[in-house]
Amino acid sequence: TSAISLERFTVNFTITNLPYSSDLENPDSARFRATQKVMNTLLDRLLKKSSIGPVFQGCETADFRYG
């Protein structure tokens, strides 16, 4: 058997239909946590169906910023 090497990678993208507000800067805010949960769920679904799906371990939303 061969060992699989896990690697972290970063993906940055713009969400055009989510109005930015300052509470998205605070990881302890209800809006941040709710948005993070939705983003993680959607990204997990998308990436599990992609070519990396068989080795995909999950994603984590680190932060939101105006942009």
Section 21-27 average pLDDT: 93
Euclidean distance between CA atoms 23 and 46, whole angstroms: 26
Q: Is the pLDDT of residue 2 over 70?
A: no
Query: Do the domain assignments include residue 46?
Result: yes
Q: What is the mean pLDDT of the chain?
A: 88
Q: What's the number of domains the chain is made of?
A: 1
Query: Do the domain assignments include residue 41?
Result: yes
Per-residue pLDDT at 1: 60
Q: Domain range for residue 44?
A: 22-55
Section 16-39 average pLDDT: 94
Token pair for residue 28? 């302890």
Query: Do the domain assignments include residue 11?
Result: no
Give phi and psi for 23, each to the nearest 5: -70, -15
Query: Do the domain assignments include residue 62?
Result: no
Query: Do the domain assignments include residue 29?
Result: yes
Query: Do the domain assignments include residue 43?
Result: yes
Enter the pTM of the model. 0.78
Section 15-36 average pLDDT: 93
